Amino acid sequence: MNARIAPAMHRLERARQLLDEAETAPSLEQLAAAVSLSPSHLQRSFRRRFGMSPAEYHRARRFGQFKAALRGGAPVTAAVYGAGFGSGSRVYEHSDRLLGMTPASYRAGGAGADIRYTTTGTPLGRLLVAATRRGICAVTLGKDDAELERRLAEEFPRATRERVDAGREEWLDAVIARIASELGWSDAAAPALPPLDVAATAFQWRVWNALTRIPAGETRSYGELAAEIGSPRAARAIGNACGSNRLALIVPCHRVVREDGSPGGWRWGVERKRELLAQERRARAGQRGDGAPRDPR
């Protein structure tokens, strides 16, 4: 590594460590002074390396701790203060975007949420599409319906889950039709994408929207995608954002590959990813609908 680059990298890693350890967010000026960088240089370099500003990183870490506490059964108030939030108001203000539901409902495994889902066969195996009253909350692939339903139950253990037949739920049918059209399984035009109801940070939305701009039949490396969103050193964070995606095919994280062109991992299976990329290359001349997911804030 270039001798001049190494100290700067060390300072950025030190800044991240300080944010990990901080109960309350330091100001940009305080953090910059602690690592001997100017505030503007720290802000710019931190975003390039990690894909988000120091303030966004600290907030994402706190919400990660908050979610873990809720999933562990901690009372909402205890989780709020345990994660370093001064009050519950800011948590509830952003809970829909970051949790996909209220904190109490998230803690209760989706209690109070009504989820309707359907399954169908595809050339890639079985496909499950699920939606709340607010939008699509899951699109998953698996070998059989039992596996898909088990995963849905693990994600939302206390939600009311109702299986519906194809043709009875407009949003679910629209997602299935859109996927079939985009992957060349159907000659019908792709319908508009229904609303989404997923938990995501601002950085994840940036990555997911960038993924939808990769044409079917093409791929990007993690580094290339990081550069496209203006964070060229955030390849690892890109990988984490792809790994957190639970909307298979709708948010096409399968189009991101390793630097050497090998497929890399995919939560729905590497062999399935290879076959999917091959199918997209074969169907590249097919029509693509419009409509990328948007941060609902």
> Is residue 253 helix, strand or coil?
helix
**Of the listed 32, 70, 152, 253, which one is catalytic?**
253
- Residue whose C-alpha is closest to residue 37's, from 58, 66, 60, 13: 13
Residue pair 127/84 in contact (Cβ under 8 Å)? The answer is no
Active site residue 253: yes
* Strands 256-257 and 220-221, sheet pairing: parallel
Helices assigned H by DSSP within the chain: 5-21, 28-34, 39-50, 54-71, 76-82, 88-99, 103-107, 145-155, 170-182, 202-212, 222-228, 235-243, 270-282
Phi, psi values for residue 38, rounded to 5°: -75, 150
Dist CA 35 CA 29 (whole Å): 10
Q: How would you list the strands of the sheet with 136-142, edge to edge? A: 136-142, 125-131, 114-122, 160-163
The identity of residue 71, as a single letter, is: R
State the residue for tokens 């009311």.
Answer: 160
Dist CA 77 CA 231 (whole Å): 35
CA distances from 266 to 58, 125, 256, 262, 279 (A): 27, 15, 10, 12, 16
CA end-to-end span of the chain: 41
For residue 99, give the DSSP letter. H
Catalogue the active-site residues.
253
